[in-house]
Every structure is written in C-alpha cells, then in structure tokens.
Amino acid sequence: MPTLRGQQTSLRAMTRDDLTLLHRWLNDPDIMQWWDGRDHKASFDRVEARFRRSIENSDRESQRFMIEVDKDGVTRTIGMIQFSRLQPRAKNSQIDVLIGEPEYRDAGYGTDALRAALKHLFEDLKAHRVWHTMQAGNVRAQKSAEKIGFVREGVLREHDQVEGKYVDVVVFGMLRDEWLKQGP
Ligand SMILES: CC(C)(COP(=O)(O)OP(=O)(O)OC[C@H]1O[C@@H](n2cnc3c(N)ncnc32)[C@H](O)[C@@H]1OP(=O)(O)O)[C@@H](O)C(=O)NCCC(=O)NCCS
C-alpha cells in the first residue's frame, strides 16, 4: 500500500502495533459518541478482529491508513482514515476519518488527511464520487467537510441508532470534476 502525503499529515499502512492505539481510541467516549456510540465497549480481541484484514492487506472491502504527523523531529500516530474500495460500476467510495489523539483535533490534521485521501481516490484510483457521512450533531466533522469543498447533499432522517436513540445523518459528496476544478 502506498504512503499518501498531505501537507501536514502522512497516511501509512496499518500494522499490528497500531492495535493498542486503535483499542484506546475505540473506547474513548469523545470519539465513540460520533462513531458506534459510547455504550459500545470494544475489547482488544474485537478490535483485532475488526482490523485484522487491514493489517494483513487482504481487505477487499475497504482500505485503512494510519494518520501520522511529524512535529519537532518526532513522528506521532494521531488517527485513522478509511475508505471503501471503489464500487465497480459507479466508481464511488465512502470515506471516514478519526483523529484519536485529542490534542491534535481542531488543528487541521483531520481535514488535511481527508484531502490526501481524496487526492489518491480521484487522481490515482479515478473515483467518480466520494461521499462522507456523519451524525447531524457532529458540527466539527461537517465544518471539516465544508472546508474541503464537499457539497452538503442532504439529511437522512433518523438513519442511524446511536446510544439507543435515532439520529439524523448528514450526507456530503464530492464529484471528480469538483475535485479537479479545485486545482493543486
Ligand atoms: C471530525 C474530525 C475528523 C475533524 O478533524 P480535525 O482535525 O479536528 O478538523 P479540523 O481542525 O480540520 O477542522 C475542524 C473545524 O471545526 C471547528 N469546530 C470544532 N468544534 C466545533 C463546534 N462545536 N462547532 C463549530 N465548529 C467547530 C474547528 O474550529 C475547525 O474549524 P476552523 O479550521 O475553521 O477553525 C476530528 O475532530 C475527530 O476525529 N473527531 C472525533 C471523531 C469524529 O467525529 N469523527 C468523524 C466521524 S464522521
């Protein structure tokens, strides 16, 4: 798997050593309220099972990368980004991102990682459309999507159930032409 380079972040292949971080992040309430819900406790074994194919580079459904930043000569792994393999006919892909280390949120890293992945999807893999969803309450993720130029396409009413409550889900999309028009 190639390493993808953003302006502030690099996206590298996932390894077995990343499981400890992933296990911590997937039990962090600040993340889980926007992901599977804070009532979901993820055991280490469950996390291992969820990411095993990515670590072995044998996942046919999605590609996952760890997000790294270099700061003061130190490389730190701060998050994870994943996108589905291109749907063969429509060439679309769904993308998700998380910045697991709290002190690295709201500093542009999640948006930069999304941009690096979009560049790969549109320019290397020739995607036609990339879409990104989040709970309607996740204002930060929506702000990040808007900064990149994703178009807010609509709201799926009560599309998900999180922590026992139905929640609206916002859909953002970007088409290949829209990405190419943005320029480098
Ligand atoms: C969502 C996430 C990926 C965004 O990455 P990030 O690096 O934090 O995002 P950025 O710093 O590029 O942009 C966030 C923007 O939201 C703004 N913001 C943060 N909280 C906000 C709030 N409550 N209301 C409005 N804006 C908010 C920030 O100020 C920033 O805008 P700015 O650059 O104009 O100042 C990251 O915060 C994260 O992983 N959060 C927890 C898990 C999650 O929500 N994942 C997404 C599930 S779809």
User: Is pLDDT of 84 > 80?
Assistant: yes
Nearest-atom index, ligand 1, CA of 106: 11
- Other beta carbons within 10 angstroms of residue 162's beta carbon come to 19
Rounded to two decimals, the pTM is: 0.96
pLDDT at 183: 74
C-beta of 82 in contact with ligand 1 (< 6 A)? no
Give dist(CA 150, CA 28) in Å, integer.
27
User: Is pLDDT of 177 > 90?
Assistant: yes
C-beta of 100 in contact with ligand 1 (< 6 A)? no
Contact call for residues 145 and 138 (beta carbons, < 8 A): no
Give me the CATH topology for the region 4-182. Answer: Aminopeptidase (3.40.630)
Give dist(CA 65, CA 62) in Å, integer.
10
Domain boundaries, the chain: 4-182
pLDDT in tens, 33-71: 999 999 988 999 999 999 999 999 999 999 999 999 998
What residues form DSSP beta bridges with 10? Answer: 5, 68
Q: How far is the CA of 106 from the centre of ligand 1 (A)?
A: 5
Residue 163 banded pLDDT, cuts 50, 70, 90: very high
pLDDT in tens, 102-161: 999 999 999 999 999 999 999 999 999 999 999 999 999 999 999 999 999 999 999 999
Give dist(CA 163, CA 21) in Å, integer.
23
Handedness of CA 141, 36, 171, 132 (dihedral sign): positive
Q: How far is the CA of 151 from the centre of ligand 1 (A)?
A: 17
C-beta of 4 in contact with ligand 1 (< 6 A)? no
